[in-house]
Amino acid sequence: MGADNQQERLNAEWITGFVDGEGCFYVGINRVEKARLGWQVLPEFRVVQHKRDEQILERMCSYFGFGSVEVNHGDRKEFRVRGLDNLNKLVEFFTEHPLHTKKRMDFKLFSQVIDKINRKEHLTKDGMKEIAEIASRMNMKVIPRFLESSETIRRGRETAKI
Amino acid sequence: MGADNQQERLNAEWITGFVDGEGCFYVGINRVEKARLGWQVLPEFRVVQHKRDEQILERMCSYFGFGSVEVNHGDRKEFRVRGLDNLNKLVEFFTEHPLHTKKRMDFKLFSQVIDKINRKEHLTKDGMKEIAEIASRMNMKVIPRFLESSETIRRGRETAKI
């Protein structure tokens, strides 16, 4: 089997299939006192595997030419992509090679968030709220703490009065 | 995105990537009184997904032109391939499009079992024992009940006496 050579470059469609199964597009919104609004958006892409399959994460990393392989938790490792430049390249990749499962919807929402960050909308409260709302519709239905914070709730009420 | 057309034919490499993440090669060995040896080998291939992604299982089924989509358990559905003719075609597919994760080893063992069944080795006790030993090295380390059965253990002891 040719693929016994583990250094062989992966195929783009293989990556799309693997990510349809194992990938995760995630947008964290975290309390960071020093940030302009007191909140920071942290979009990231992850593929988690048991450490016995670390080689495949390394090969994905080589394929893309960015990201890193880190410990996820216990015996698990992750290929992780952070940083706007890298995530823009990732969005370009999955736009050219579309996902086929429901994960495509997560990707669509994720790319909307990246687009808003490209436009610096995350630096305004309205923009941040929109991002949080998009993020709340993604994968595991994580409700960003930003949306639950008193600031947002207060702001929501004020808006309602208008 | 072109892939919004869910009827579009899947790509072979995409399938390999998805199966590297989500597929399962399995060899069951079950007690069947009517079978020649009292045991039956049931090799099968499965891809399990939440029912929200049933369409992707249907598309895999269309791609291969064999197998079926069935209820797996609760909200989960599976694309399942059984039957020697179909499994031979499946083995041919994954030989031409090699898997890249440790699942490749499961596939290699699985294809050894299919090969033995093609040669009708499962109809002899020795052949069945070899199949059970191969199966015990696969994926979830399921120890086939055949290997634990008194017949096999007795036979093992008898062999040891020689």
Domain ranges of chain B: 9-157
Contact flag A20-B56 (C-beta cutoff 8 Å):
yes
Contact flag A11-B15 (C-beta cutoff 8 Å):
no
Residues of B in contact with A53 (CB under 8 A): 101-102
Of B146 and B39, the structure prediction assigns the larger pLDDT to: B39
**B69-B46-B29 Cα angle (round to 5):** 115
Of A162 and B31, the structure prediction assigns the larger pLDDT to: B31
Alpha-carbon distance of A67 to A14, in angstroms, equals 18
| Cα–Cα nearest to A158, from A133, A128, A131, A126 | A126
CATH 3.10.28.10 fits domain A8-157: yes
Q: Compute φ and ψ for A129, nearest 5 degrees.
A: -65, -40
A/B interface, count of CB pairs below 8 Å:
82
**Token duo for residue B124:** 């002899």
What is the per-residue pLDDT for B6?
A: 56
Contact flag A98-B14 (C-beta cutoff 8 Å):
no
| Assigned architecture for domain B9-157 | Roll (3.10)
Q: What is the mean pLDDT of residues B58-87?
A: 97
Alpha-carbon distance of A56 to A135, in angstroms, equals 28
Contact call for residues A66 and A88 (beta carbons, < 8 A)? no
pLDDT interval class at A153 (50, 70, 90): very low
Share of chain B above pLDDT 70, in %: 81
| Other beta carbons within 10 Å of A30 | 12
Contact call for residues B81 and B114 (beta carbons, < 8 A)? no
Alpha-carbon distance of A153 to A71, in angstroms, equals 36
Residue of A nearest to B3 (CA): A98
Alpha-carbon distance of B23 to B128, in angstroms, equals 25
Residue of A nearest to B5 (CA): A100
Residue of B nearest to A11 (CA): B13
B91 close to A (CB below 8 A) = no
- Kindly report, residue by residue over A94-152, the tens digit of the pLDDT: 999 999 999 999 999 999 999 999 999 999 999 999 999 999 998 755 455 556 555 55
Residues of B in contact with A2 (CB under 8 A): 98
Residue of B nearest to A22 (CA): B21
Taking phi first (over 0 means left), then psi (-120 to 50 degrees means alpha), and beta for anything else, what does residue B120 get? left
Residues in chain A: 162
Residue of A nearest to B99 (CA): A3
* Nearest CB neighbour to A20, from listed B13, B18, B99: B18
What is the per-residue pLDDT for B4?
A: 46
Determine the distance in angstroms separating the CA of B126 from the nearest CA of chain A, rounded to an integer.
Answer: 29
Determine the distance in angstroms separating the CA of B78 from the nearest CA of chain A, rounded to an integer.
Answer: 14
What is the per-residue pLDDT for B7?
A: 63
Contact flag A16-B17 (C-beta cutoff 8 Å):
yes
Question: Tokens 């069945």 map to which residue?
Answer: B128
What is the per-residue pLDDT for A149?
A: 57
Run of H or E residues at B41: strand B39-50
Report strand pairing: A76-81 vs B68-73: unpaired
* Nearest CB neighbour to B13, from listed A13, A22, A104: A13
* Nearest CB neighbour to B11, from listed A2, A4, A13: A13
Three-state DSSP at A54 gives helix
CA distances in angstroms from A25 to A48, A70, A158, B76, listed in the order given: 12, 16, 32, 22
Mean pLDDT taken over chain A:
86
| Alpha helices (H) along B2-149 | 12-22, 54-64, 84-96, 103-118, 125-136, 145-148
What is the per-residue pLDDT for B35?
A: 87
Buried b / exposed e across A89-110, counting CB within 10 Å, b at 16+? ebbeebeebbbbbebbebbbbb
pTM, full prediction: 0.84
